[in-house]
Structure 1
Amino acid sequence: MTGYRPLLFSIAYGMTGSVGDAEDIVQDAFLGMTRARNAGTAITDPKAYLTTTVTRLGIDHLRSARVRRETYVGDWLPEPVVAHAGEPGPAEHAELADSLSMAFLVLLESLSPVERAVLMLREVFGYGYQDVARITGKSEVNCRQILARARQRIATGRQARGGAPSSARRAEGEELARRFFEAAEGGDMDALLGMLAPDVVLRGDGGGKAQAIGRPAAGAPRVGKLLVAGLRRVLKLGVSVRTAWVNGGPGAVMYDAEGRVAAVVELDVADGVVQAVHSVVNPDKLRHLGPVSDVARLPNT
């Protein structure tokens, strides 16, 4: 039964953008199945039962979280899923596809909960329309209509926001991330600009609790300067950078002098260059990774 957890976690995380909420939803699904069996319900296909339960719990979660998202302070980014090279971690155990990059999850925020579920099941996890209909409780015809609307919204959002799902293979992505952060730390603007797409976008999520840019910044020169200035500032505070695999793509985790997590950065890579940079410093979104640093925390938070 535990073999289903990677898929279930990935669906729940894709629906919520939260590691903690995804883990809770998966646990609730298993508990629900146990209770159903104890009550005498015959479950012939546990995987189908659990997938349906996780998806519907994800839909319910999004409906209740809508107001919180609308009042969120600053730019919203999902909680990062991190794996260091050679070490086990959530990303090693979850079927996190490239399309679950932060850029893609941000785009999914424009969809209704049901649209998000249909698009995730069909486009990311490859379920047929019959299964999508069964899982969401909609007709196949309705699911096709829902998917068409969702695709259009995602296409429009991608044009407006920039960024694309990562297409870099892991080895290539890790090497690019190493060179990228070395250039940023060393203030090598020429090298950095050579790795940035002309219309690259930088987004930061501080949640009103940590220092982050107030709104997305666009354009290679501006983003390059912000990255160099930001890294120069935190390096003076004893912060170190360790490359990692974040949301199925290259990135890094920043640690303070005491080894506490200060930030997670994800790079969306396509065509050999960085299309978008996402930096999560909101302490609430880093706690699942270990003790959280206060080097970026805003006063009185």
Structure 2
Amino acid sequence: MPGPADEDGTGEDETGAAAAGYRPLLFSIAYGMTGSVGDSEDIVQDAFLGLTRARRAGTVVADPKAYLTTAVTRLGINYLGSARVRRERYVGDWLPEPVVVPADRPGPAEYAELSDSLSMAFLVLLESLSPVERAVFMLREVFGYGYPEVARITGKSEVNCRKIFARARRHIAAGAGEGGAPPPARQAETEELARRFFEAAAGGDMDVLLRMLAPDVVLHTDGGGKTQVVEHPPAGREPVLRLVLGLFRRCRQLGVSLRPAWVNGRPGAVMYDARGRVASVFELDLADGAVQAIRSVVNPDKLGHLGPVSDIARRRPPG
């Protein structure tokens, strides 16, 4: 006889224990759909609660992984339908909530399935897709599901899923051609390049920074209208260099510190104020021995899952 299931769906029976092992995959699917750490965790939790309720009602779930994957995907589609209006009203650049793993230790299990395909640049590209297109594209392209499985999970026909995927891939290819992220360099190279970049920025070394920036480098900053950021993403070595040097000069004056981290599978850093509160998260796109793009999340609403949030960058009310 199976043992009782806990309220979170991870019961003591063998089936429940096995289902709990799917959390990393489920989180990755939810995060790929939503771009939100907190909402992804809620979606995964809701999926497990649904599994628990189904079992308590006497339903035999022969394949918990399929059940949970379907639940998470459909919850993600529903989430995107309600989030679409909020995204359209978003102030300034939109970036996903950063998934941060300290550079000196492995990440938590929930983030273990995150791949380079869930970088910030890729998630921004996915914003051009409809909720169903995003689900089909993620399941097929990122997680390697076959069309029969994608059809079952999304509730669409296999023929329809093939058409949806082809359409989504065209949208993604068009967006990537307009400034998508370049292929990443090897991990050892990116770690060293990121270290030198942040050291040069913190030390105000203009010559080193200038040599490290790609000619068409771009700086994206997500403040959500709540922090003081540049309204239009600057592009090119000189504009980006001036902004980076100005930012780090002000940070030195305020006693801000920087800690290396892996951000969405890419090298980056977390910025802390003098009281140890999170002020910003940086992610770097590195390729061909240069920094191709810098992405910075400053919106306090997207940093709370990392700890207490700083107020040094908050937009001050007039007067």
Category of TM-score, reference length = shorter chain: over 0.9
Kept after mapping to 1: 8 A contact 2:280/2:298: yes
CA distance in 2, matches of 1:223, 1:99: 26
Q: Over residues 250-280 of structure 1, what are the superposed CA-to-partner deviations in whole Å (9 max), with x where a residue is unaligned?
A: 0000000011000000001223322211000
2:163 matched to which residue of 1? 145
In the TM superposition, what are the counterparts of 1:40-119 in structure 2 within 5 Å? 40-90=58-108, 93-119=111-137
Kept after mapping to 1: 8 A contact 2:24/2:109: no
2:140 matched to which residue of 1? 122
CA distance in 2, matches of 1:24, 1:229: 38
Pair 1:194 & 2:211 matched: yes
> 1:147 is aligned with what amino acid?
F
1:33 paired residue among 25, 39, 51: 51
1:15 paired residue among 29, 33, 42: 33
Q: Does the residue aligned with 1:35 lie in a helix, a strand or coil?
A: helix
CA distance in 2, matches of 1:61, 1:93: 20
Kept after mapping to 1: 8 A contact 2:259/2:269: yes
> 2:36 is aligned with what amino acid?
S
- Greater alpha carbon shift after TM alignment, 147-156 vs 184-193: 184-193
CA distance in 2, matches of 1:110, 1:218: 22
The gaps in structure 2 that reach 5 residues or longer are 1-18
Shift of 1:165: 5.7
Q: Does the residue aligned with 1:218 lie in a helix, a strand or coil?
A: coil
Q: Does the residue aligned with 1:264 lie in a helix, a strand or coil?
A: strand
CA distance in 2, matches of 1:142, 1:92: 32
In the TM superposition, what are the counterparts of 1:220-259 in structure 2 within 5 Å? 220-259=237-276
CA distance in 1, matches of 2:193, 2:263: 13
Kept after mapping to 1: 8 A contact 2:98/2:281: yes
Kept after mapping to 2: 8 A contact 1:184/1:231: yes
1:180 matched to which residue of 2? 197
Q: Over residues 60-103 of structure 1, what are the superposed CA-to-partner deviations in whole Å (9 max), with x where a residue is unaligned?
A: 00000100111111111100000112335447743111011101
| Runs of 4+ displaced beyond 6 Å | none
Q: TM-score, normalised by structure 2?
A: 0.90
Instruction: State the superposition RMSD in angstroms.
Output: 1.6
Shift of 1:173: 2.1
Q: TM-score, normalised by structure 1?
A: 0.95
> 2:176 is aligned with what amino acid?
R
Shift of 1:123: 0.8
Kept after mapping to 2: 8 A contact 1:265/1:279: yes
Q: How many residues were matched structurally?
A: 300
Pair 1:216 & 2:233 matched: yes
The gaps in structure 1 that reach 5 residues or longer are none
